[in-house]
Amino acid sequence: MTPSLLIIEDETLLGSELLRHFRKTGWEVEWAQTLARTRDLILGQHFEPMIILSDMNLPDGNVLDVIHTLQGTLPHFEWLLLTGYGSVPDSVRAMRLGAYDFMEKPCDLSHLDLILTSALRSTQAQRRLEEQTRQGHQKYSPAAYVGSSQATAHIRDLLTRLTQVSISALVIGGETGTGKGLVARILHHAGKRGPYPIIELNCAALPRDLLESELFGHESGAFTGATARHKGLIEQAHGGTLFLDEIGEMSLELQAKLLKALEDRKIRRLGSEKEITVDVQIIAASHRNLQDMVADKTFRSDLYHRLSVFSLALPPLRECLEDLDELLPLFVAEYSAKSGKQVKIIPEDIWIRMKNYHWPGNVRELRNVVERCVLLADGPVFPAQWLQLPGTNPPVHGLSSPVAGQTDRLAIPLDGSMALDDMDRYIIDTTLNRLGGNVAAAARALGTTRETLRYRVRKYGLKTEPQGN
């Protein structure tokens, strides 16, 4: 997409030079010499600039009045000021109103190129956030937290209530993969802050110094490598939500600075003396128990109490296995659509194995398993050979009716008359009987190890051949 630039400049020589320069470097450029022409380009001709490069005072008024109006009618844009000698106070006032930067006339074009490139990246990032916000508002609702178990239904009811009220901060707990990110997006998009951006940051992914710069932003020259101003994530989330995942990994020093920002509702970029007012909802998440960390003095108690206006603890999948009834078909359909597959049939042995598994990675692990199996499927049947669930056995051949003359098949009733443990005992006992009690042969037939089979033999009190095992 060609970047668009609006030049507002009443000096003919400078305006024509800028127009020629930026068209030559690949910009879509419009030039206005008055505020009336500016309004006509944007409101009449629907020109939507990504960057506005403007003089301060024009023959028919002050540009700040128009900029203030445009910020409510256009997609996000950045604006830079070209100022004459002696107008620095006006430029400072413009910066406080949101100007990206200012330069005194005459300006060096190569330096101006650098400033506009940086401002363009800022505009593109903010517009992506706005687009994601619009899409997320349609996609995320409490109903997106899928599951039929009582625990999941309880969380879904809480989400419905929380999205109907304004809440300044919230803590989400739960094991890795339980859906903390999904819950944060539901709370944002379905709540009152949905029209504004949600900014997500994994606190464990960045070193302390870089994390501070990402959160609070910095001015040009604040430290080595800071070549341009950077708006911090807290500032970018103004009006919306800041989701701090794995907040337990944040250093105590940075926790103190975050607490002050939350209490004062103000931040200060690194290298700046000016405070910026912000209004954000904070959603913090951690797979670690923050209360235990407070007791161990590895997490600040005052920050914890400031964040935990409300706390949600998401249950692990192993405690909500009924949710598989909805999650498994949902993920199969999702990845079938993405990969162009037609997987529709989930055999009974797949259901049994999945409900016997303890799911240490929770819903994230389930997603990965389903994605792998669907991608490698050769037909409409969900393939068992690609499950690869640690600690579980491949499916036993012949859970359907036996075929006459074959002794390598078993018939298992699926009418509810046998519990899973009874099925397990019956399969092992029948296999041992057919193989003369030989544990090694039975283990090969069942696709497991002798140690695992011996454990189950002892568990069920079965008889084996005393020799050759």
Q: Is the peptide bond before 106 cis (omega within 30 degrees of 0)?
A: yes
Q: What is the pLDDT of residue 404?
A: 40
Per CATH, the number for 140-315 is 3.40.50.300
Q: pLDDT grade, residue 306 (50/70/90)? A: very high
Q: Is the pLDDT of residue 397 over 50?
A: no
The larger pLDDT score, comparing residue 317 to residue 1, is at 317
User: What confidence tens digit (pLDDT) does each residue in 222-243 have?
Assistant: 887 777 788 899 999 999 999 9
The position carrying tokens 């209360």 is 291
- Into which CATH architecture does domain 4-131 fall? 3-Layer(aba) Sandwich (3.40)
- Which residues, other chains included, contact 121 with Cβ-Cβ below 8 Å and sequence gap of 6+? none
| Overall average pLDDT of the 458-462 stretch | 81
**Token duo for residue 447:** 């696709």
- Into which CATH architecture does domain 318-386 fall? Orthogonal Bundle (1.10)
Q: Which CATH superfamily is domain 399-469 in?
A: Homeodomain-like (1.10.10.60)
The larger pLDDT score, comparing residue 198 to residue 70, is at 198
Pair type for strands 281-286 and 311-313:
unpaired
The position carrying tokens 């669907």 is 374
- What pTM was estimated for this model as a whole? 0.60
User: What confidence tens digit (pLDDT) does each residue in 244-289 have?
Assistant: 999 999 999 999 999 999 999 999 998 888 899 999 999 999 999 9
Domains 4-131 and 140-315 alike in fold:
yes
In angstroms, rounded to a whole number, what is the distance separating the alpha carbons of residues 383 and 379?
A: 9
Q: Do 187 and 170 contact (CB within 8 A), yes or no?
A: yes
Return the domain boundaries, the chain.
4-131, 140-315, 318-386, 399-469
With a pLDDT cut of 70, the percent of the chain lying above it is: 88
The position carrying tokens 């009336």 is 36
| Overall average pLDDT of the 385-401 stretch | 59
